[in-house]
Structure formats: structure tokens, C-alpha cells
Amino acid sequence: MRGLKGKNVLVTGASSGIGRAIAIHFAAAGAHVAVNYRSSPKEAAEVIHEIRSNCEKAGIPADDLKNMTVQADVSKEEDVDSMFEQVIATLGGLDILINNAGLQIQGASHEIPISDFDKMIDINMRGAYLCARKAITHFLDHGGGVIVNDSSVHELIPRPRYVGYTMSKAGMQAMTRTLALEYARDNIRINSFAPGATLTPINPWKDDPEKKADIESHIPMGRSGTPEEMAAVAAFLASDEAAYITGQTLFVDGGLTLYPSFRTPWTG
């Protein structure tokens, strides 16, 4: 992918799931990667280990790439400030931010504890904004940069029992569009990709064949997506191949946003 080699990339929430796949994908494309984690240093270290062993397998000396783990809870401003300081000092700058950290908690919308609602808004939406602010501040002083946000089909599709999650992702869409417009003349591009049902730890049903089959029966393509399929799209949006795209959400969902119930149309 044009324009990823040698770039400095920060991936939030990169110790598992889609973030992990993104970190590995970008490193394989020759980028220097900072793997952010909140509470799982061991998993984050394993991501770096995998990056380095992939390099060796590909015959690239692992030391040609810089990489690091960095702890931060993205919902805490002081954590975010310190993460950016560490990443910029260690990698020598920042070119690409991937806002991936997120969580989802379900429950009847009139009953879900407000503390759970707050967590989703704080991490998924406010956290993405806190990181975007810091990245943009750096980009403005260094000729530009790219932000890619990991959103969800639920920035668009309502999802009963997930009101905090859908609100956080709709907010992420508004942020993407607003920041893209505001910084369009500053060589800063901001886009989102929106995964559908993906085989990651956020979806424990992936290990339950019956539930998985039920969920997949609603997906037009008849299967879940993989973290690697999401990472490939994040890489495209971050790369120079997407140089003329800003403020957009690219849905990566096997057709989930296409009104799946119309797949076998009724007559009458």
C-alpha cells in the first residue's frame, strides 16, 4: 500500500481484536507501530513479539522497524497526553492515528447502569476525540497526517439494548465529518471504517456455533468478517491510495447495511 512504509502509527486498543490486526498489518507494510493498551500489558507485548517474528519470516531485520507498547486509558486526558509524549519521543513523530479502542456493554436502554453508559461514551467517543485533538495538534506543526476511526455499522443501524454503543458510534461519525471539514486545508484526512459482525473478543458469540450461525444468517454474505479484513481497510484509508478521501465512513460489513431482510423479497 503506497505511503505506509516508514510511517509512525499509533493504534489505540491494539492488544486484541481489530486493533491487534491493524498493528500487525501496518508493521507488515513497513510502518513503525505504537501498540496502546489499557489493562493488558502481556497481550500488548505479544503483539510486538508477533510483529518482530513476522519481520524475520519476511527476511526483514526486526530492528529496521521501531515499535513500542504504551499504556493509556484513552478516556483520561492525562493518560492521553502522556501517551502522545511517549509515542512522539520514541518513534520520532506521528503520521497516522488509528482510533480503535472501544467497548460495548448491553442492557435494556431504560435499565443499563449509567456508569456503563458513561464508559461507552467516555472510551468510544470522548477517547477518540481526546486522541484526535492531540494528533491534529502534532499534524498541524508537521505538515499533516491521517486519522482513521474504527466505528461500527451501528453508527447508522439502530441496535436495541445498545443505546450507549450506538450513540458513541454516531458521535464518532459526527466527529469524523466535522474534523475532516475543519482540517481539509491542512493536509489532514480523517475517515472511519465501520465493521459489521467481526470475529473478535468483543463478540463472545464467535465461539458458540449456534449463536454464530444465527447471527450470520442475517448477514447478506452469510459470514462474519475477520479482523484482518478490517485491518486491510484501515490500511487503505491511511495510505496514499486514499489521498482524496476525507470525512467518509467505509462500511466493511458483508452487506449488513443493505436492508438484509429484503434479500429474499416478498411479493404482493
* Residue span binding ligand BGC (CB under 6 A) among the ranges 8-16, 56-64, 128-136, 148-156: 148-156
Binding mask 44-73 for ligand BGC (x = CB under 6 A): ------------------------------
Catalytic hit among 37, 129, 162, 165: 165
Residue 200 CB, nearest approach to ligand BGC (Å): 8
Helix, strand, coil percent content, the chain, rounded in steps of 5? 50, 15, 35
180 part of the interface to ligand BGC, by CB under 6 A: no
Give the SS3 label for residue 11: strand
Q: Given the complex with ligand BGC, which of 28 and 153 has the nearer CB atom?
A: 153
Total residues belonging to the chain: 268
- Nearest position to ligand BGC, beta carbon: 152
Instruction: Give dist(CA 115, CA 105) in Å, integer.
Output: 11
Give the total of residues touching ligand BGC (CB under 6 A). 9
Laid out side by side, the sheet with 188-195 consists of 67-71, 32-37, 8-11, 96-99, 145-150, 188-195, 249-252
Q: Is-catalytic flag, 165?
A: yes
CA 88/CA 138 separation, integer angstroms: 9
Candidates 13, 196, 225, 227; binder of ligand BGC (CB under 6 A) is: 196
Q: How far from 136 is each of 115, 118, 158, 237, CA to CA, in Å? A: 30, 25, 30, 17
Q: Which residues, at least 6 apart from 34, have a Cβ–Cβ distance to it below 8 Å?
A: 8, 9, 10, 11, 67, 68, 69, 70, 87, 90, 91
Only one of the segments 9-17, 54-62, 92-100, 190-198 lies at the binding site for ligand BGC (rule: CB under 6 A); that segment is 190-198
Q: Is 226 in the site for ligand BGC (CB under 6 A)?
A: no
Is residue 152 a contact point for ligand BGC (CB under 6 A)? Answer: yes
Choice between 66 and 218, CB closer to ligand BGC: 218
Please identify which residue in 18, 98, 197, 199 interacts with ligand BGC, judged by CB under 6 A.
197
Residue 181: count of CB within 10 angstroms of its CB = 12
Residue 203 binding ligand BGC, by CB under 6 A: yes
Give whichever of 50 and 216 is closer to ligand BGC, judged by the CB atom: 216
Residues involved in catalysis = 165
